A and B are shown apart, each in its own frame.
Chain A
């Protein structure tokens, strides 16, 4: 699976290739400001300026782990941090101390603005909180679906329950507060909003997110490979059903 366009054909020898190749190994523009915090004997918590910087570091960490340049059991992105857990003991190449020194020197490419692989999730925009969300956004009820389905989302991180993703990408509308009183049972497949995030409940559970719709997509099935439909970094679009 490639999310990058193939490299353009080399320019004729007469004219210099554009843009000029980046001199290596001096990292310049893409060194991310980060704070590397200790977290026990086997982990580091890397704090970044914002969610997109965390996403860029997360992508770089996955690349390096796949290339064998990083030995770590868990890479757990969150709102603006990435946790590295299960690092090697004192004799391994990536002790927390050594990695803490190495990380800030990495050149980390920004994420591409749009992805080639976008997962589409069909949604019936008929959630019980649709009217409340419309009122908060100051739009007619039917526009909630239009606005929500026009955005391209990215799974920023997972948590709360297996397969529950926190999706970002909804711009230009106010953040939605959690419900004052959480529901004791939110049905599986419910699509909800809270803060800057959109989430889909993988199974029935208590929940305080404002529900705008529902989907028949199976978010989590431990007998399936992969078990989770959404994993951090995935790009997602919600498609109104029946159109």
Chain B
């Protein structure tokens, strides 16, 4: 009888356990968390026959290396990278059988930022408020992976993967983020609203799971007062005093005191998770954005 678990040989820069997060607790100050590139995480789960809500590993830029203690089917997706089993190259984005004791190496991202590693049965750490996600803002969920750690796996899925390989979108050369107005669009000058949607911003290296930070022309406020704390949503573009927009990602705080100029459409956020620092960001006003046509 083999042990349904895997050992972490090389944790990488930042590898966390992620699933669909823990929505429904924002009123207690609990961020939603969960995989940043949701479609990529769902896809690798599907490839190994896991349910969509199974926990996967989310790597950051330089991959990770694992040694399963049982035979297990794995699939690597998200940011494209070289994948090897005991040194032999295997296919990325495809279910791969890894024998017990073999070394699975997920290489550095060739492009993009976040890789997703699904293992048959899912990572079976103890859930917290219904989720196994690591939340880097509040510290809920398991800690990021460390070298030598051993993590449990769930029971192998009964249903085998029905797809062998599927196309995955490449990481964006230019990040297009569609923005709907509100709730505090009117706290900014008309010039600032034009600046946001016409000038190029770049992904800042200070970005993380909490927010995609940008470098670019600062947004000038029309209202200078202090905003009492209010609820925040995924994709909210918060503008701190330095005027540089921050797009809230999965680990965002549940309340905040800086005005939100607009909200990025949820389906554009997967690409935001894969945009490397320096990527050009274009915010496109939709849904009645002041001065924008159509929607």
Taking Cβ atoms with an 8 Å cutoff, the residues of A that contact B are 37-43, 45, 47, 73-83, 85-86, 157-164, 166, 203, 222, 227-228, 231-232
Contacting chain A: which of B65-73, B82-90, B114-122, B180-188? Answer: B180-188
A40-B235 contact in complex given A161-B29, A227-B129, C-beta closer than 8 Å: yes
Q: Would B260 and A76 count as touching, CB distance under 8 A?
A: no
Looking at the complex, which one of A38, A74, A228 makes contact with B180 (CB distance below 8 Å)? A38
B23, B25, B235 interface centre (most CB from chain A within 10 Å): B25
Q: Would A76 and B255 count as touching, CB distance under 8 A?
A: yes
List, in ascending order, chain B residues with CB within 8 A of A86's CB: 23
Look across to chain B and name the residue whose beta carbon is closest to the beta carbon of A195.
B228
Q: Would B228 and A80 count as touching, CB distance under 8 A?
A: yes
Q: Would A39 and B253 count as touching, CB distance under 8 A?
A: no
A158-B254 contact in complex given A38-B182, A231-B27, C-beta closer than 8 Å: yes
A-B contact pairs, 9 of them (CB 8 A): A41-B265, A42-B266, A76-B231, A83-B26, A157-B255, A158-B254, A162-B138, A227-B129, A232-B27
Looking at the complex, which one of A38, A74, A83, A222 makes contact with B181 (CB distance below 8 Å)? A38
Answer yes or no: B189 CB below 8 A from chain A CBs: no
Q: Would B266 and A41 count as touching, CB distance under 8 A?
A: yes
Closest-CB distance, B138 to chain A (whole angstroms): 5
List, in ascending order, chain B residues with CB within 8 A of A81's CB: 228, 230-231
Q: How many A-B residue pairs have CB under 8 A?
A: 114
Look across to chain B and name the residue whose beta carbon is closest to the beta carbon of A76.
B231
Q: What separation, in Å, do the CA atoms of A234 and B264 have in the docked complex? A: 33
List, in ascending order, chain B residues with CB within 8 A of A203's CB: 139
Look across to chain B and name the residue whose beta carbon is closest to the beta carbon of A225.
B129
List, in ascending order, chain A residues with CB within 8 A of B254's CB: 76, 158-159
Closest-CB distance, A74 to chain B (whole angstroms): 4
Closest-CB distance, B164 to chain A (whole angstroms): 32
Q: What separation, in Å, do the CA atoms of A47 and B129 have in the docked complex? A: 29
Q: Would B180 and A231 count as touching, CB distance under 8 A?
A: no
Looking at the complex, which one of B23, B139, B184, B230 makes contact with A78 (CB distance below 8 Å)? B230
Given contacts A76-B231, A79-B228, A227-B129, 14 further A-B contacts (CB under 8 A): A37-B183, A39-B236, A39-B260, A40-B180, A40-B182, A43-B263, A74-B23, A76-B255, A78-B228, A158-B27, A158-B28, A158-B29, A160-B29, A161-B29
List, in ascending order, chain A residues with CB within 8 A of B183's CB: 37-39, 45, 47
A160-B266 contact in complex given A39-B233, A40-B180, A232-B27, C-beta closer than 8 Å: no
Look across to chain B and name the residue whose beta carbon is closest to the beta carbon of A38.
B182
Q: What separation, in Å, do the CA atoms of A166 and B29 have in the docked complex? A: 11
Answer yes or no: B140 CB below 8 A from chain A CBs: yes
